[in-house]
Structure 1
Amino acid sequence: MSEAAESGDAPTGREIWIEKYRPQTLDDVYGQEAIVERLRSYIERDELPHLLFAGPAGVGKTTSATAIARALYGDNWRGNFLELNASDERGIDVVRDRIKNFARSSFNPERGYTIIFLDEADSLTNDAQSALRRTMEEFSDKTRFILSCNYSSKIIDPIQSRCAVFRFSPLGDEAIANQTRDIAEAEGIELTDDGLDALVYAASGDMRRAINSLQAAATTGEVVDEEAVYMITATARPEDIEEMVQAAIDGEFTTARKKLETLIVDTGMAGGDIIDQLHRAVWDFDLDERTAVQLMERIGEADYRISEGANEQVQLEALLASLALSEN
């Protein structure tokens, strides 16, 4: 929980909770204990290398970077920390201009270096990454780089070899449940057990999604329960997904198709979201191994075709039809 929230100094009004409750120190980061321990040792020994944070959204990469800056520079951390989003400025000019100018002009006499944090670094072009690598070499005596990305494979090897690589995993259910429960208590929200379970399920390892969903659901009434969460997140209940798949496996294609139409039209789900939920739930279904593998194969085909621009409903109906036909 943030210092502002604990001290009561947070500004009043309708705030964005993901910022209001963003952890201020490494000790407050949920669910990444092994990574936090290693980062803390760098700070204690004052031997911070270049860092590369890789992992999905909402798992603590940006929070860890700002927490490092706060720990090193205290209240003056903003003056010693340049944050850039590479997805906004992904060309070579951002490296030659903003990054190089900050690295050249900034200096911290106490630590001997300042920090440049480059978020979504996997969006940089190869030319920009090559220029970044040269900048890292040239200013390594007074600048440390922290790069954040979803896919480390998109970062060129010369940069990876210059960084200590940390792979952030999706957050566990317990970590998400603990923070959402803490926020609900701090905000005076009545959060039911089934509502908490629904938040954890809808988040799928993404803390930002869980907190945003909690804030959105809290606006619908005095109590945040399962119904409020599934309504506000346009997420299907796991049992609805299972019933749809089971109907197809049983050869009842018309029933399965109606359930799919309910998810798309009434619940408002996108085809990609249904694919994600199907993928997450395959091994939770009571299926024999052959059928489960077959379903995974169909999910992969539908996901690829949807990502290439095919009609979502057509592809999902084809998925269900293939399951129905395979059992007949």
Structure 2
Amino acid sequence: MRGTYGRELVKLANEARYTFLNALFSVSEAVMYMQMVDRMDQGLLPAQVVPNTYDALWQLVSKAEIIQEPAAYAELDPDMARTLLDQKQAGKTLLLITNSDYQCTDAMMSYCYDRFLPQGMRWRDLFDMVVVQARKPDFWAHAMPLYEVVTPDGLMRPAMDAARVGLHCGGSATMVEKALGVAGDDILYVGDHIYTDAALAKINFRWRTALIVRELDSASHLASAACWAAGRPHRPMLEQDGKDFSERWGYLSRAGLNDKSCLMRQIEKCADIYTSRVSNFLQYTPYMYFSVTKG
């Protein structure tokens, strides 16, 4: 890799051969792509299949399989339900906007949330408005057909406008603002993809954005200042510090000693706040106002 590309100047704006890997979704896509290239080199896969990584991925793991065995694909977090319930009880209007269809959404949300909610309460009771099959990123730019989900098994009927309290399919962010009677920075949008979620919500609608960066759970992205404390044994501390980041990629938020990583620059540009998971908000009052302190 270093010998081939070490001195090559890459202009990303003009290079269709390169793509950004900006989220955990991209990691799975990249791994799948590399596995298929290996199989193609071994003569086990037709060459024309390789570019279409998403189709190949869903051939291996279908939504039906995920619904049948959610424990294999979903990580339970008891504090997630408590966090949303805390916000709900504080008078906040909660929305769920997802690209998944109703059956998949209901099955996965039931598995992840219902067991941690008060007796007789379901995940649907947490949210005033639910939008399934939102088709992000088109959800931010186009007014797509809107439907109302009217039966537990997902039967739908056409709708002219989104309701403030309801279960919808499709539509657009403009319809959401109209239904809620609010716009811009009155809305905090929480998502886990820099472009599909945070960037477009901020650029197109000026919504406040909170980016979920799950990688922060498994990596310490800040260098340990204690490594350089005077009078301390440096070698063991440096060795420990070296375990806190990827040996191949380094720290998540730093490039070298003083520069920010590409990931951190993207986060600063697109997100008002970032954290490893939504349940971290449970540590604060639901009326907490988060702001950046620059010194």
Both proteins in one fold, TM over 0.5: no
Greater share of helix: 1
Structure having the higher Rg: 1
Greater length-normalized contact order (CA 8 Å, ≥ 6 residues apart): 1
What TM-score do the two structures reach when normalised by structure 2? 0.29
